[in-house]
Amino acid sequence: MGSKPARVRRGRVLGIVVACGAVCLAGGCRQGPELVGSWAGVPQTQGTVQQVTKGQANTVVEGFVNAAVQRLADNFLAVRIRFKTDGTAYYSGNTGALGLPPESDGPWYVIRRQKDVLTVRLGTTDHPVEARIVFRDRDKFTMYRQDAPETPLVFTRARD
């Protein structure tokens, strides 16, 4: 009597679940933000500037100095990374911020993924770097090198 409609509903729900699972297996479900692509990053200078200007100027002047110095860093200290789908990455610009030689490339891979936090190994064969990447949104992340966690780099997705 009432069992046939219930079986039909269960069958539809099961069909939807199976279809979603098939889409995920085919690569349609994302496990978090995508790292592949071009990124531009700069060291954050605010902590350093605050130490230099502390007690030397009022807060309005400190805020202005912080913004101006960060803008200079954005222009002159930028490092660029292009993460490729084949597991290689190309580094240019201020590669010293990553502890890498100028204009270099090498392998990269995700060691661990926890929602919007990735632990990655990147760098060159001679200069491997392990880092924690914390995504703020899909187009911005902060990278903390394991060997220099006090100097984070903020990266923004670069438009190719």
The pLDDT score that the predictor gives to residue 9 is: 62
Q: Is residue 17 part of a domain?
A: no
C-alpha–C-alpha distance, residues 71 and 50, integer Å = 15
Q: What band does 150 get if pLDDT is binned at 50, 70 and 90?
A: confident
Relative orientation angle of helices 59-76 and 46-53, to the nearest 10 degrees: 140
Q: What is the mean pLDDT of residues 28-42?
A: 78
C-alpha–C-alpha distance, residues 120 and 33, integer Å = 13
Q: What is the mean pLDDT of residues 8-26?
A: 55
Q: Is residue 7 part of a domain?
A: no
> Within 10 Å of residue 157's Cβ, how many Cβ atoms?
17
Q: Is residue 8 part of a domain?
A: no
What is the number of structural domains in the chain?
Answer: 1
This model's pTM is above 0.85: no
Q: Is residue 12 part of a domain?
A: no
- For a pLDDT cut of 70, what percent of the chain falls above it? 58
Please check the confidence at residue 49 and state whether its pLDDT lies above 50. no
The pLDDT score that the predictor gives to residue 27 is: 44
The pLDDT score that the predictor gives to residue 56 is: 58
Q: Is residue 119 part of a domain?
A: yes
Helices (H), 42-97: 46-53, 59-76
> Within 10 Å of residue 145's Cβ, how many Cβ atoms?
19
pLDDT tens-digit series, residues 128-137? 999 999 999 9
